[in-house]
């Protein structure tokens, strides 16, 4: 996962911000074919205006956005384990998108759509305010060095954008294997009146059943890191 955050000292409007640092890998032949054969079914190009997702999915359902889905393992898992919900994945890394497209096509899944684009632009322009049941951001780039901490995805301006897109009572689910980043997330989110930590102030949960153990998590555990799942509710009346 290569997501990085905007500088919270600069307003969201009027500047070309990005939610990532692009580190593209080379597509395999299979991933190239995935774009050729399956993008028309699963892919979404940015519309630039609020999109009618009832029309996209052909039904009304709870909508979940996963930002920075990497190789798509968790999103693929969710598509079959939560069939009653619709999922919108946002990822800039094309090899990961190609891998997910192949997995979805093999299953015949129809409750997932994918953007290969910057998450900030998609959220701001394509997603209607107060329309999401959940937003998932699992193992974003922790930017370990202190001088790089402002590049982290979870910053006050971005968190306020997430709050705006969640419906009242909606869930923001974050996960990290880097304790300083967990502490940073607490600092940012506990300071915002829009969010309430379900585990109490600076609290976290064991990995919930709907989140599969990821490659990043296993790597972190091998390195002796802990894993922190932070679950925040969007307050009805902040």
- Residue 141 among the catalytic residues: yes
Q: What does the alpha-carbon distance between residue 212 and residue 208 come to, in Å, rounded to a whole number?
A: 8
Contacting residues for 227 by C-beta, under 8 A, at least 6 apart: 175, 176, 177, 207, 217, 220, 221
CA neighbor of 196 nearest in space, from 224, 169, 177: 169
Query: Token pair for residue 42?
Result: 């699963």
| The pairing of beta strand 86-90 with beta strand 112-115 | parallel
Contacting residues for 22 by C-beta, under 8 A, at least 6 apart: 2, 92
Q: Most distant CA pair in the chain: distance in Å?
A: 50
Where residue 48 falls (left for φ over 0; alpha for ψ -120 to 50; beta otherwise) is: left
Q: Which of 86, 141, 177, 187 is catalytic?
A: 141
* Burial class of 153 by CB neighbour count within 10 A (0 to 12, 13 to 18, 19+): buried
Q: What are phi and psi of 151, to 5 degrees?
A: -80, -10
Q: What does the alpha-carbon distance between residue 51 and residue 28 come to, in Å, rounded to a whole number?
A: 31
How many C-beta atoms lie closer than 10 Å to residue 104's C-beta?
Answer: 26
Residues designated catalytic: 141
């Amino acid at each position: 996962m290569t997501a990085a955050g905007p500088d919270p000292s600069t307003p969201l409007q009027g500047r070309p911000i990005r939610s990532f640092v692009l580190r593209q890998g080379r597509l395999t032949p299979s991933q190239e074919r995935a774009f050729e054969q399956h993008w028309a079914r699963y892919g979404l190009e940015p519309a630039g205006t609020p999109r009618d997702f009832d029309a996209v999915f052909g039904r009304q359902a709870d909508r979940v956005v996963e930002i920075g889905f990497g190789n798509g393992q968790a999103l693929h898992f969710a598509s079959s384990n939560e069939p009653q919900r619709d999922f919108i994945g946002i990822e800039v890394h094309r090899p990961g998108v190609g891998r997910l497209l192949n997995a979805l096509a093999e299953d015949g899944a129809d409750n997932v759509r994918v953007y290969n684009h910057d998450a900030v632009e998609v959220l701001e322009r394509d997603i209607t305010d107060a329309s999401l049941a959940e937003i998932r951001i699992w193992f974003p780039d922790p930017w370990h060095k202190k001088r790089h901490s402002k590049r982290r995805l979870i910053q006050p301006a971005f968190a306020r954008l997430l709050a705006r897109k969640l419906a009242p009572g909606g869930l923001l689910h974050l996960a990290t294997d880097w304790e300083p980043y967990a502490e940073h997330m607490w600092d940012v989110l506990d300071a915002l009146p829009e969010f309430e930590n379900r585990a109490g102030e600076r609290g976290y949960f064991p990995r919930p059943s709907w989140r599969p153990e990821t490659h990043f998590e296993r790597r972190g555990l091998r390195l002796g890191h802990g894993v922190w799942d932070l679950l925040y509710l969007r307050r009805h009346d902040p």
